[in-house]
Structure 1
Amino acid sequence: MAAILLAFTEVQGAQGVSELSRRLALPKSAVHRTLDALTSTGLVAQDPATGKYLLGPRALELGMTGFGAPDLRTLAEPVMRELMERTHETVTLSYRVQDERVYVSQVESKQPVRMTVTVGQRFPLYAGASGRAILAAMSAEDLERYLSSVELLPLTRATVYDRDQLLGVLEEVRQGGFAVSFGERDPWAAATAAAVTAGGRPIGAISVCGPLARFQGAVVSLCSEAVRDAARRISDLLSGGGTVPDPRRDAKPAAAPAPR
């Protein structure tokens, strides 16, 4: 069981039963049974669209607890629910893990057509509102290290992946206090996000996201102002909640019962 959990920390993205079986030299039946058990505890989650598996919210919670951090999801949940009621769109919470971010929670919109995310899924920081909000809140040294070590590749036709253009967008994010994204990670989706900080560094981001067609004009202005206020509230809660993990450390989110 521990070997399967640790396998998720070694490869980016979701993994299937066959892939894990080959990598770990284990029978498919054994891998499948173990994944079923891990899914029932929340340590592993299954992507309903692909049938593949990835680290679940309980694994991320263990990782944060292992660092001596408060449970970010617990602190943020009331604020996220208020934000959803204010904007009527899905609200997500991302946690920074090294040079990526991971969805750790969401409060879904009540609208018939809405955006949902897969908790536990990782994404690069340069693409999309949540990641860029985190990048914009980094120190100049951390940002330069990030840009020097990560290959910027387009995820959609709208992705900002030119270094100079990205730096210009990040400056706009700093000035406004929020980031926006229109079809940069998913062609049909849009979002606005703001960084959640603790100890002067970004540890994650909160976002409001929904269908691209609905994110225009006054809606973007409302959601951007609301998400900026929500991020500030969560950051204030964290400042009184004890120590937080340093995302710059080499450690990955814990995937073993005893340690993003």
Structure 2
Amino acid sequence: MPHRDALVAQTQTSLIRLRALTGETVAIHWRLGNKCTCTQELPSPQPHRVEAGIGADFPLTRGAAGKALLLSLDEQDVRALLAEPGIPEPIGGVNALLADLKAGRERGYKLTVGETLEGAVSIAAPIPWPQPGLAACSVLAPESRFDLPTREAAARTLVEEMHRLRSVLRRQNAFG
């Protein structure tokens, strides 16, 4: 398993690459208990931008990062999580969330609009950590600047970066 410090350094490299490629705010979110917590963030250099805020907590059932953390769970585990106290009801209900997660697994990312931050588009993918569902990487932007083709391009870039990160971490594991 790669040393935790190697993961932190590599995720920072991924954030820098993603911000350079998208021009938008990028962040790392960790699952801490039953919350999605922003632990690293590089704000967009643009004056009009969206930021999650380091230390900000979001429900696992809302927003791209929270849902990306759930992509590794099966239906039974999602239902068990939703039965826990303090977990907000998913938008559209449990079946809508399960269908949304299934589609996210097929694409390799989650995309939401305005679920945690009004007027924000968020795209997130799980970080390829040995323990699935522990961390996610996201790209955040104002909805007014993130039209459908831009969203699709950012999603492809994010998924490609997570594949690159997986390869780097495997090499470090094999040779570290």
Bucket of the pairwise TM-score, normalised by the shorter protein: 0.7 to 0.9
Q: CA deviation at 1:107?
A: 1.4
The Cα of 1:236 is off from its aligned counterpart by 3.9
CA contact (8 A) 2:35 2:57 kept: yes
Is 1:227 the counterpart of 2:158 in the alignment?
yes
- Deviation, structure 1 residue 187: 1.4
Measured in 1, the distance between the counterparts of 2:169 and 2:38 equals 18
Q: Give the equivalent residue in structure 2 for 1:73.
A: 8
Change (3 A) 1:240 1:95: farther
Whether the 8 Å CA contact 2:82–2:89 is kept in 1: the answer is no
SS at match of 1:134: helix
Q: Which residue of 1 aligns with 2:102?
A: 171
Which residue number corresponds to residue 203 of structure 1?
Answer: 134
Query: What residue number does 1:152 align with?
Result: 88
Rounded to whole Å, the distance in 2 between the matches of 1:139 and 1:153 is 18
- TM-score, normalised with respect to structure 2: 0.86
Query: Would the alpha carbon gap of residues 100 and 233 (structure 1) be closer, same or farther in structure 2, given more than 3 Å must change?
Result: farther
Deviation at 1:179, TM superposition (A): 0.4
Provide Cα deviations, 1:12-39, integer angstroms capped at 9, x if missing partner. Answer: xxxxxxxxxxxxxxxxxxxxxxxxxxxx
- Provide the secondary structure at the position in 2 that maps to 1:187: coil
Pair 1:138 & 2:69 matched: no
Give the corresponding residue for 1:213.
144
Say which of 24, 48, 71 aligns to 1:89. 24
Q: Structure 2 CA distance, aligned partners of 1:236 and 1:121? A: 30
Report how far residue 147 of structure 1 moved. 2.0
Are 1:194 and 2:125 counterparts?
Answer: yes
Please give the secondary structure, in 2, of the residue aligned with 1:112: coil
Cα separation, 2, equivalents of 1:169 and 1:233:
25
Structure-2 change in CA distance of 1:232 and 1:138 (3 Å)? farther
- Superposition deviation, residue 241 in structure 1: 5.7
3-state secondary structure, aligned to 2:53: coil
Partners of 1:102 and 1:238 lie apart in 2 by: 23
Matched residue type, 2:55: G
TM-score (norm 1): 0.60
2:113 to 163, 182, 206: 182
Query: Following TM superposition, by how much is the alpha carbon of 1:239 offset from its aligned partner in structure 2, in angstroms?
Result: 4.6
Q: Give, in angstroms, the shift of residue 198 of structure 1.
A: 2.3
Equivalent residues in 2 for 1:3-18, closer than 5 Å = none
The aligned length equals: 170
Q: Quick check: 2:68–2:125 contact (8 Å CA) kept in 1?
A: yes
Q: How far does residue 206 in structure 1 lie from its aligned partner after superposition?
A: 0.4
Contact (CA 8 Å) 1:91, 1:107: kept in 2 or not? yes
Instruction: Give the counterpart letter for 1:105 in structure 2.
Output: Q
Query: Identity of paired residues, percent?
Result: 25
Residues 61 and 89 of structure 2 are in contact (CA less than 8 Å); yes or no, is this contact kept in structure 1?
no
Contact 1:102–1:121 at 8 Å: present in 2 too?
Answer: yes
Partners of 1:70 and 1:238 within 8 A in 2: no
Q: How far is the alpha carbon of 1:113 from its aligned partner?
A: 0.8
Three-state SS of the structure 1 residue aligned to 2:83 is helix
Question: What do residues 99-144 of structure 1 show as CA deviations (whole Å, max 9, x unaligned)?
Answer: 2111111111111211122211211111000111111122444323
Residues 50-69 of structure 1 deviation map (CA, whole Å, 9 limit, x = unaligned): xxxxxxxxxxxxxxxxxx96
Corresponding residue of 1:103: 38
